[in-house]
Structure 1
Amino acid sequence: MALNIARVVNEPVYPFEFSICTLVTRHQEYQEMLASFLNKGFDETNCEYLYIDNTADCQYDAYKGLNQFLQQAKGKYIIICHQDIIVHDHDREHLVNKINEIEALDKNWSILANAGGVNFKWIATNLTQASGNQIKEKRLPLLTKTIDENFILVKSSANLALSNNLSGFHMYGPDLCLVSDILGFNSYIIDFNITHKSNGNADASFFISKKAFIKKYNHALRGRFMATTITRFYISGNWFTAWVYNFQPIKFLVRQYYKFFRHKKRYVPKK
């Protein structure tokens, strides 16, 4: 029997430089976006264009749809963007230069965007609104904690994905940044000015998504006791709690709790 054996290479080969991915609800607006990219050098020689057609009904929400893009895109860089953006001031060459700039500063980057929350106080925005008003951040690039969803560039080799247990069309930018951070990567706001026709819509669905996001990460980032086949330990974002709970007597008492109150049979999947 012949075996299909192949040697893994250090650097993957990408057939495209960019994959430009969009959830589409209005074809005419998408065509305007598409034309603006093509006009700025994002053509068939270096790009592929992927879209999900949500015009008739919602086949994919943002989380499931963007995960499809991240899995199926063949570009070295994956651009995930809204259909209501127009590329005008900057072109493909400018974007490549900004990518190279970040690469020289920090090889552990995974996400670039044009707006986001740098920290709990400062927001960085670098785009043009539909009115023509240009919001220009003076200090770029900037390390950021969150990103706005209108324009997101992901390094394909970072192998990012969005949460499986979140849904809807909001908070997926912050979700992607948190996943990136947990995997050991950094996110940046860069100078790539585009027009975004929408100023955002904090409707009822936004607050539902925000609540679900907070609930998910309160659980995901909780402190916990862990056991491997050869050791036991406690992890926590609070250094003092982690220090105390890693004392051997504490770990012994916790083991007794699991022995008497959390039997192994509780972890058998229910049919």
Structure 2
Amino acid sequence: MLPQFSKLEITDQFVKKYSFCTLVTNIDEYVEMIQSAKNAGFDRDDVEFFYFDNVGQNSQDGFSGINNAFSKVNGKYLIFCHQDILFKFDNIDKLDQCIAELELKDPSWAVIGNAGKKETGKIVLRITDPHGENSNIGDFPEEVVSLDENFLILNRSLNLSTSAELNGFHLYGLDICRNANYLGYKNYVIDFHLSHKSGGKIDKSFVMAQEAYATLEHKRKNKNFYTTTCTNFYASSNAFLNYIFKFKIVLKIYKKMKGFR
């Protein structure tokens, strides 16, 4: 026995099961989302709701928001989601079931969601949004390398984080999934159906986020083809290759050669 030292005990005890966290710019829309969640059974004692106040000005973005929430909430699972989703279809019992099913397949899963892409570029979906009603594409739970940010569930039993060098409101789903992959974990789309009011858009800030992520991978000296539900791009430690892959025709040829979709 060593009384002058403290023994470190590794436990997996969480006060709650689900901790919701949302970046809020529209209070009315957020309240509507929370009410739909509670109507779907997320009013249990093991569920809690938090938000970052981005009304008027941004207090947090997608990257910092995940990292701050991950270390401060009480749930085993952090649900980092958009304010404009609605739980119109599946309920908490279905989510419990999906996670239990995934635990049997891969107990060390890192992040799960409702829309993502595989390494080959194949899209996997279980969602209703402006792009389609009741989209159901995949063999759930199906492994992916990136997830759409509208609905992310992070496993707080693992040591996950987004990249400190990045910021903004795009591609943090790709970043957290890739970081999980670097640690040896996997990410999945599950058969949990909800509604997302927005179909997403590619604007100037999205292009800037893509360039920032490519720059980070360039610094890491990684070479890869990155695919998300909204974009495909190539990044490597070779500045010349990064430049030529910005041309769509070159990227199209590369995808065809490698068998990407």
Question: Could you say which TM-score interval applies, normalised by the shorter chain?
Answer: 0.7 to 0.9
Matched pairs, number: 222
**2:37 counterpart residue number:** 37
**1:219 counterpart residue number:** 219
**2:259 counterpart residue number:** none
CA distance in 2, matches of 1:199, 1:56: 23
**1:89 counterpart residue number:** 89
**2:147 counterpart residue number:** 147
**2:173 counterpart residue number:** 173
CA distance in 1, matches of 2:47, 2:180: 24
| SS of structure 2 residue aligned to 1:48 | strand
Q: Give, as a single letter, the amino acid of the residue that structure 2 aligns with 1:73.
A: V
CA distance in 2, matches of 1:7, 1:51: 35
Using a 3 Å threshold, how does the CA distance of structure 1 residues 32 and 165 change in structure 2: closer, same or farther? same
CA distance in 2, matches of 1:210, 1:177: 15
| SS of structure 2 residue aligned to 1:28 | helix
| SS of structure 1 residue aligned to 2:162 | coil
Contact 1:130 1:195 survives alignment (8 Å): no
CA distance in 2, matches of 1:56, 1:128: 29
CA distance in 1, matches of 2:172, 2:61: 10
Q: Give, as a single letter, the amino acid of the residue that structure 2 aligns with 1:147.
A: L
Q: Give, as a single letter, the amino acid of the residue that structure 2 aligns with 1:28.
A: D
Query: How much identity, in percent, do the aligned residues show?
Result: 33
1:159 maps onto 2:187 in alignment = no
| SS of structure 1 residue aligned to 2:59 | coil
**1:18 counterpart residue number:** 18
**1:186 counterpart residue number:** 186
Segments of 5+ residues of structure 2 without an aligned counterpart are 224-236, 238-261
Question: 1:118 deviation in Å?
Answer: 1.1
CA distance in 1, matches of 2:53, 2:4: 36
Contact 2:124 2:138 survives alignment (8 Å): no
**What does 1:22-171 align with in structure 2 at a 5 Å threshold?**
22-130=22-130, 133-171=133-171
Contact 1:20 1:49 survives alignment (8 Å): yes
Question: 1:130 deviation in Å?
Answer: 4.7
Contact 2:84 2:196 survives alignment (8 Å): yes
Contact 2:67 2:161 survives alignment (8 Å): yes
Question: 1:12 deviation in Å?
Answer: 2.4
User: Relative to structure 2, which stretch is displaced further, 75-84 or 131-140?
Assistant: 131-140
Scaled by the length of structure 1, the TM-score of the pair is 0.77
| SS of structure 2 residue aligned to 1:109 | coil
| SS of structure 1 residue aligned to 2:206 | helix
Q: Give, as a single letter, the amino acid of the residue that structure 2 aligns with 1:20.
A: F
**2:240 counterpart residue number:** none
Question: 1:222 deviation in Å?
Answer: 4.4
Using a 3 Å threshold, how does the CA distance of structure 1 residues 209 and 22 change in structure 2: closer, same or farther? same
What does the per-residue CA deviation read over 1:197-253, in whole Å, with 9 as the maximum and x for residues that have no partner?
Answer: 000011110000001101101211449xxxxxxxxxxxxx9xxxxxxxxxxxxxxxx
CA distance in 2, matches of 1:138, 1:35: 29
Using a 3 Å threshold, how does the CA distance of structure 1 residues 171 and 138 change in structure 2: closer, same or farther? closer
CA distance in 1, matches of 2:4, 2:84: 45
CA RMSD of aligned residues (A): 2.0
| SS of structure 1 residue aligned to 2:137 | coil
Contact 1:108 1:184 survives alignment (8 Å): no
CA distance in 1, matches of 2:128, 2:160: 28
Q: Give, as a single letter, the amino acid of the residue that structure 2 aligns with 1:154.
A: L
Using a 3 Å threshold, how does the CA distance of structure 1 residues 99 and 221 change in structure 2: closer, same or farther? farther
Contact 1:90 1:194 survives alignment (8 Å): yes
Segments of 5+ residues of structure 1 without an aligned counterpart are 224-236, 238-271
